[in-house]
Amino acid sequence: MTIGYLHIGPATHGVTRYGALLARAAREHLSDDVIEAEAELLGRPAEDEQQLRTAIQRLSRADVVHLQYNERVWGNARAAAHVRTVIAVCAAPIVATLHDVREGYGWRGIGRRTWAQRTADVPGGSGAGGGEHRAADPDRVTGLWASMQRAARYVWKEWQNTRATKHLARHAAQILVCTHEEARRLRGIVAPEQRTVLPHFVEDRAIDITPPNAQKELGLAGHRVCTVLGFIHRAKGHALVVEAMPAWPNDVHVVFAGRPAVGSEGFARKLQQRAKALGVADRLRVTGYLEEGALDTYLAATDLALCPFEKVSASGSLSTWIAAERPILASDQPQIAEYNAMAAGAIATFTPYTPAALAEAARAQLDRDAENGRAAHPESTSSVARRARAQLREKLSLPRIIQQHAAVYRAATRHTESSTPSHPE
């Protein structure tokens, strides 16, 4: 069997990298032939169309083609058009992994999300996770007309994403998601037999620097380090962390290890302004984009990984923390519960979604780890959590997960044009 991988978007984007790592694992761990093709999509319709057609042509001898779908890397407002092109040109059965699956793809769901976006613009507005925890973007033009324009653009992009998702659901041989929560969200869109849950893999990451040496190299020796990893944007919970910082002792430093997502540059600046207003700016570091070597140093230097997601589908940053085997504190989300069902106690959680709850949980975790030390008693809370994280890492290892993908690929090759999914429940 020849497996084709179609990579859409910039190579540094997490969704694109996800597909590239799967392709590499298939080449290393499966006996099948593997071919790859890329199309970055630069927002120029004619050129993007040609890129897609050329990429599909490179995959012409594939028995099955696997692609990763996220509306951003597929061009936002052009996502549906690009998906239609791929479906029309690709002769092989398609397996599509959906990332960032929405809660509700009808007009009601779009309306709820649009309202959440609109109230995020209003001082004291509720937003998706509580307006008091959101940092407003200083570069946004305020006023009713500007808000209406943003809402219209958002509705258009969400509608295109809905059309693209439904088009994939109608034509792909198999739809993959990383969590059961995402599969639940697709009820009514994707037939039960057409959707499969394959957990987000954990890549092998050998970090060859010790935590003390990493902290010394980064100028953080003598401090306890809490890190939020990945793109900076509202849903990741960075604003919640800034609001929690005043409750932590002065030896607790926070690292935002990543750069602002496109369109979130003003939000990132506002976070730093808010930290200054709260008197904690000297304990907050924003790194920008990190190459692999620098990333490993920050991972090793971290005493507590913070994953205070306001909303989440499946998280590449969380998988990186599992690979690094660092203590993790996350917001109480259904997807996090799925990880703890695989390995009880692997990830600590906090609730409710408030700065006070995050501050208390993080401080307790840091104090507990400090008391236990690095040579903790085998039955200590820290040791139990460490074993659970190691167990989770093994269960989600890339060699294991690629074998599960291989089974899906083999089933997809038996898919014919005459076979159509049954009506979703």
Tens digits of per-residue pLDDT, 201-222? 998 888 999 999 999 999 999 9
Asked, for residue 360, whether it belongs to a domain, the answer is yes
* Same-domain pairing of 176 and 265: no
pLDDT value at residue 261: 84
Asked, for residue 17, whether it belongs to a domain, the answer is yes
pLDDT value at residue 315: 73
* Same-domain pairing of 50 and 174: yes
| Residues 89, 29 contacting (CB under 8 angstroms) | no
To the nearest 10°, report the CA torsion of 407, 410, 411, 414.
-170
d(Cα 217, Cα 387) in Å, to the nearest integer? 28
Asked, for residue 263, whether it belongs to a domain, the answer is yes
* Same-domain pairing of 283 and 336: yes
Asked, for residue 289, whether it belongs to a domain, the answer is yes
Q: Which residue has the higher pLDDT, 111 or 136?
A: 111
Q: Looking at the predicted structure, is the pLDDT value of residue 314 above 80?
A: no
Asked, for residue 86, whether it belongs to a domain, the answer is yes
pLDDT value at residue 262: 78
- Overall number of domains in the chain: 3
Mean pLDDT of 286-305: 95
* Same-domain pairing of 246 and 142: no
Give the model confidence (pLDDT) of 32-62 as tens digits: 899 999 999 988 999 999 999 999 999 999 9
pLDDT category at 258 given cuts 50, 70, 90 is very high
pLDDT category at 317 given cuts 50, 70, 90 is confident
pTM above the 0.95 mark?
no
Asked, for residue 417, whether it belongs to a domain, the answer is no
Asked, for residue 161, whether it belongs to a domain, the answer is yes
pLDDT value at residue 169: 94
d(Cα 309, Cα 235) in Å, to the nearest integer? 6
**Percent of the residues in the chain that have a pLDDT greater than 90, as a whole number:** 66
Asked, for residue 376, whether it belongs to a domain, the answer is yes
Q: Which residue has the higher pLDDT, 372 or 74?
A: 74
Q: What number of CA atoms fall less than 13 Å from residue 53's CA on the CB side?
A: 9
CATH number at residue 300: 3.40.50.2000
pLDDT value at residue 275: 96
* Same-domain pairing of 116 and 167: no
Residue 362 belongs to domain spanning: 211-396
pLDDT value at residue 381: 60
d(Cα 316, Cα 235) in Å, to the nearest integer? 14
Q: Looking at the predicted structure, is the pLDDT value of residue 127 above 60?
A: no
pLDDT, the chain, mean: 86
* Same-domain pairing of 125 and 188: no
pLDDT category at 369 given cuts 50, 70, 90 is confident
What residues have CB less than 8 Å from 185, skipping those under 6 apart? 101, 102, 103, 104
Cα separation values, 96 from 35, 39, 170, Å: 16, 16, 11
pLDDT value at residue 223: 96
Q: Looking at the predicted structure, is the pLDDT value of residue 167 above 50?
A: yes
Q: Looking at the predicted structure, is the pLDDT value of residue 272 above 90?
A: yes
d(Cα 53, Cα 40) in Å, to the nearest integer? 12
* Same-domain pairing of 65 and 172: yes
pLDDT value at residue 123: 31
* Same-domain pairing of 72 and 139: no
* Same-domain pairing of 115 and 30: no
d(Cα 156, Cα 77) in Å, to the nearest integer? 7
pLDDT category at 130 given cuts 50, 70, 90 is very low
Mean pLDDT of 278-287: 97
* Same-domain pairing of 364 and 407: no
Edge-to-edge strand ranges of the sheet holding 348-350: 284-286, 252-257, 224-229, 304-307, 328-331, 348-350
* Same-domain pairing of 42 and 174: yes
* Same-domain pairing of 143 and 169: no
Q: List phi, psi (to 5°) of 422.
A: -70, 165
Contacts 24+ apart (CB under 8 A), 148-151: 150/117, 150/118, 150/121, 151/114, 151/117, 151/118
